[in-house]
Structure 1
Amino acid sequence: MSKAKISAIGTYVPSKRLTNKDLEKIVDTSDEWIVQRTGMKERRIAGDHEFTSDLCIEAVKDLQRRYEGTLEDVDMILVATTTSDYAFPSTACRVQEYFGWEQTGALDINATCAGLTYGLHMANGLVTSGLHKKVIVIAGETLSKVTDYTDRTTCVLFGDAAGALLVEYDEQSPGFLASVQGTNGNGADVLYRTGLRSDLNGQKLEETGKMVQNGREVYKWAARTVPAEFHQLIHKADLRPEDLDWFVPHSANMRMIESICEKTLFPAEKTLTSVEYFGNTSSVSIILALDLAVKAGKLKKDHTLVLFGFGGGLTYTGLLIRWGF
C-alpha cells in the first residue's frame, strides 16, 4: 500500500521556437508532411548556453512558486534525463547546488522516454518505505543538442523542456495505486544514442553523440506493448477503462498515440498530450501534458489517471495514480 502522493507540479520550456516552416529551410521536408505523420507544429529549442540543468532549475522554480509548502525539507532529488550537462557530476547535483538543499540525496535516472514514470515509481518506493519524506522528481532534456539535423526522419521530432513533480508522504490519501514495468533489451538497436562506443553493431560512426532511431520498429513495439500493459495495469487495481478520468502516454508522436488509443479502446478525447507545440520531449512529455491540463482546469484533485512512459531500451513503466492536488 502506497503512502505517497504527487502534491505539486512545475514546468519550463525555452523561449526559442522551431516551427515546421523553419525545418523546411534546414532539411527536405514540409509542414504538411510533418503534421500528417507526427501531429507536430513546433517545438522549443534551448539556447547555445542553456543546458539541461538550467531547464530543470527553472522548472523547480515554477513548482516552488505554485506550491503552498516549503521545499527546504526535500530529502531526495531524482532527475530523469538522457542529456545531462556532464557525464558526471549528475544533473541532480547541479540542481542541488543551485537550491542549496544540503540534507538531500541526488541521483540521475536514464530510462529515456520512460524516465519520468520510472522516477515517480522510485519516489513512491522511497517515501512509502519510510526512507524519505519528500522527493522531487525532475525530467529535463535538451534533445536539440544531440539531434542529427541532416536526418529528415528524426530531426523533425525532438524538442527541449523540463518539468518537476513533488512526491511526499501522505498515508491518509495515497496517490499511487498500481504499476507495471517491462523491458525488451533485444530492441536496443532500434533507438539509441552513441557514446563511448560506436553503433550497436560495432561499426564506426563519423560523429558520436547523435540519436539513431528506426521509427517504424519503435512504433510497432509501442503500439503492441502499451495497450496490453495498460489493461494489465488497471486490472491490478480492479478498475475498468471507463473508471479513468485521463490517460497520459508519452507524447512521442500523435499518430502513435492515436494508434495506442484505438488498440486500447480508450477515447482520444480523454487522452492528454503535449506533442503538438512541444514535439517529442522524451522524459518531459508527460509532465508537460499534465501541466497543460492543470492550467486548462481539466485535471483536478482526486482524478484517476494512467501515466505511461515508454522508449529506448526498449523499456516502459505505467503508473495508475490518483491526482493529489
Structure 2
Amino acid sequence: MIVRSVVKGVGHYLPERVVPNAEFEATLDTSDDWITSRSGIERRHFAAEGETTSDMATKAATAALENAGLAVDDIDAIIVATSTPDLTFPSVATMVQGKLGMTRGFAFDVQAVCAGFVFALANANALILSGQAKRVLVIGAETFSRIMDWTDRSTCVLFGDGAGALVLEAQTGTGAVSDRGILSADLNSDGRYREMLYVDGGVSTTGQSGKVRMQGNALFRQAVEKLAQTAEAALDKIGLTGADVDWIVPHQANLRIITATAARVDVPMDRVVVTLQDHGNTSAASIPLALSVGQARGQIKQGDLLVTEAIGGGLAWGAVVLRW
C-alpha cells in the first residue's frame, strides 16, 4: 500500500462583471468575430474595483472546502498559484490563510504564470507523499485585468479574472494506475524563451508592475509542441497513452492550441473540458476553474482519468495525470 494525493473537493469563484467581446469594439480595432475566430473566447469576467486576488482565492477555497465536506481546521497547508498578487509580499496564500481563519499549518505562493497551478499541484503532491501535510488546499487565482495594456488588441482581449481551488487529501492506494489521486507529474522550464511572454515591469527593474507583452505566433508554436510532449511524458511515466484518458483539462488560453494539442495526444475534442469561451485566459486559475466547472456540468466523474497540462511565461510548462 502507498500514499496517494486524492482530490477531496473542488470549487471556483468568478467576479460578477461579465465582459463580452463586443465591449472592446468601442476602443479597439477589433470585433466579436475577430476575437472569437482567433481565440475561441466570447466573454470573460473582470474583478470589481477593490476586489483582489486574495478575495477571489478565498471564495474559491471556501467553495472547495464546502464541496469536500471539510472545515478550515482540517487543512495543513495552502498553496496559491498566481502572477498577480495583492502585494509584493506577503504571499496571497498567507492572506487567504488569514481570511479563512486558519491559524495552524503553513502557506506559500507558486509563480509559474499560466503553468502555475500544475506546478502547485505537483508541489502539494510532494508535501503529501513526504508526510509534511495530510490535506493541502491548492488554489489558482488571478486578476490579469490589472496588468493589461488596453491599447494592445493582441493581448487585452484574451485575459480574464477568477479563481479555482481544490483540496488534496492523503489516502491509501495500491500503487496501481487504477488508484484515485495524482499518478504522475512532469514539470519543465526554459528561460531562453522569456521574450515570448512577459510583463515589462517589476520590483527590481521599473518599480512598477508593468503590462503583459506577448509574441503570439511564436508562442503558439511552442505551446502546441511542449503541451503535447509534457502530456505524453506524464502518461508514459505510468505506462498509459491518450487512449486511456477520459478527460484532458487544459490551460484555457486559446481554442486552436487546445484543439491542436488534443490531436497530437490523440484525444478527441469531446473528451476535452473547454471553458475559455466563458472565462478567457485566467492564467493559473484556468485549470482549477475548468475542473470545478467540469465536475458541476457532470462531465468529470469519480474514477475518471484526467490529464491537466499548461504552459506559461518563462517559458514554464508541465502536466499532471490524476484519477478523479
| Interval containing the TM-score (normalised by the shorter chain) | over 0.9
> Equivalents in 1 of 2:70, 2:53: separation in Å?
26
Q: Find the aligned partners of 1:285 and 1:2 in 2 and give their Cα distance.
A: 27
> Is residue 2:192 matched to residue 1:186?
yes
Provide the residue aligned with 2:286 in structure 1: 285
Q: Note the C-alpha offset of 1:174.
A: 4.6
What is the one-letter code of the residue matched to 1:176? I
Query: What is the alpha-carbon distance in structure 1 between the residues aligned to residue 204 and residue 126 of structure 2?
Result: 33
Q: Secondary structure at the match of 1:170?
A: strand
Q: Per the alignment, in what secondary structure is the counterpart of residue 41 of structure 2?
A: coil
SS at match of 1:148: coil
Is the 1:273–1:286 contact (alpha carbons within 8 Å) kept by the matching residues of 2?
Answer: no
Cα contact 1:2–1:175 (8 A) shared by 2: no
Q: How does 1:25-36 map to 2 (within 5 A)?
A: 25-36=26-37
Q: CA deviation at 1:2?
A: 4.7
The answer as to 2:42 corresponding to 1:41 is yes
The alignment status of 1:75 with 2:76, answered yes or no, reads yes
Task: Measure, in 2, the Cα distance between the counterparts of 1:317 and 1:225.
Answer: 8
Between the two proteins, what is the percent identity of the paired residues? 35
Displacement of 1:71: 2.7
User: What pairs with 1:1-325 in structure 2 (closer than 5 Å)?
Assistant: 2-172=3-173, 173-193=179-199, 194-196=201-203, 208-323=209-324
Q: How many residues align?
A: 317
CA distance in 2, matches of 1:217, 1:2: 41
Say which SS state the counterpart of residue 74 (structure 2) adopts: coil
The TM-score normalised by the length of structure 2 is 0.94
Aligned-partner Cα distance in 1 for 2:225–2:128: 33
Q: Secondary structure of 2:137's match? A: strand
* Equivalent-residue separation in structure 2 for 1:312 and 1:39 (angstroms): 21
Distance between the aligned counterparts of 2:182 and 2:281, measured in 1? Answer: 26
Q: Secondary structure at the match of 2:28?
A: coil
Residues 44-91 of structure 1 deviation map (CA, whole Å, 9 limit, x = unaligned): 000111010110111112123322233312111100000000000111
CA RMSD of aligned residues (A): 1.5
Alignment check: 8 A CA contact 2:45 2:279 kept: yes
Give unmatched runs, 5+ long, in structure 2.
Answer: 174-178
Q: Which runs of 5+ in 1 are unaligned?
A: 199-203
Question: Residues 29 and 77 (structure 1 numbering): CA distance in 2 closer, same or farther, change over 3 Å?
Answer: same
2:124 corresponds to which letter in structure 1?
A: A
Secondary structure of the residue aligned to 1:72 is helix
Asked if 2 retains the 8 angstrom alpha-carbon contact of 1:274 and 1:286, the reply is no
